[in-house]
């Protein structure tokens, strides 16, 4: 099955990002295709290389980045939502890319299911 993933919450203030990561990883392990992961609203904070979580906390930015690179999954960040939160090309973590809402629409069209995590 082909999945599109939409993440609307940041990595440190809500469970949604962690749940999205766990779902995406499990789907890939089971042989499903991830068309694209799109980060929107506060979810764009998952792409910031400026975050420094505590050593005993999960580093979701790093985990997303590694997942994208290991499985060749597109990690798209809404440019408008990112710029409103100070996220630019210079402070994107590896593997993330700024893009427009057309990429979200494309994920919905190209996938069998678009799974939304967060409000």
pLDDT per residue over 51-95, tens digit each?
A: 888 887 889 999 999 999 999 999 999 999 999 999 999 999 999
Q: What are phi and psi of 3, to 5 degrees?
A: -115, 140
CATH architecture designation of domain 2-48+58-82+94-117: 3-Layer(aba) Sandwich (3.40)
Terminal CA-to-CA distance of the chain, rounded, Å? 24
Q: Which of 35, 78, 79, 92 is catalytic?
A: 78
**How sure is the predictor about 103, in pLDDT bands with cuts at 50, 70 and 90?**
very high
pTM comes to: 0.95
pLDDT digits (tens, 9 = 90+) for 14-61: 899 999 999 999 999 999 999 999 999 999 999 999 988 888 788 999
Please enumerate in sequence order all residues whose Cβ is within 8 A of that of 82, keeping only pairs 6 or more positions apart, or say none. Answer: 44, 47, 88, 98
Please give the radius of gyration of the chain, using alpha carbons only, rounded to the nearest integer: 13
Whether 78 is catalytic: yes
Domain boundaries, the chain: 2-48+58-82+94-117
């Amino acid at each position: 099955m082909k999945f599109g993933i939409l993440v609307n919450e940041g990595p440190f203030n809500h469970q949604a990002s962690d749940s999205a990561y766990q779902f995406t990883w499990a789907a890939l392990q089971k042989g499903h295709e991830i068309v694209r992961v799109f980060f929107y609203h506060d979810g764009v904070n998952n792409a910031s290389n400026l975050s420094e979580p505590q050593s005993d906390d999960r580093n979701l930015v790093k985990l997303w980045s590694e997942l994208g690179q290991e499985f060749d999954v597109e990690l798209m960040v809404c440019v408008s939502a990112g710029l409103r939160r100070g996220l630019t090309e210079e402070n994107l973590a590896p593997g993330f890319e700024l893009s427009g809402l057309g990429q979200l629409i494309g994920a919905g069209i190209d996938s069998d299911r678009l799974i939304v995590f967060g409000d």
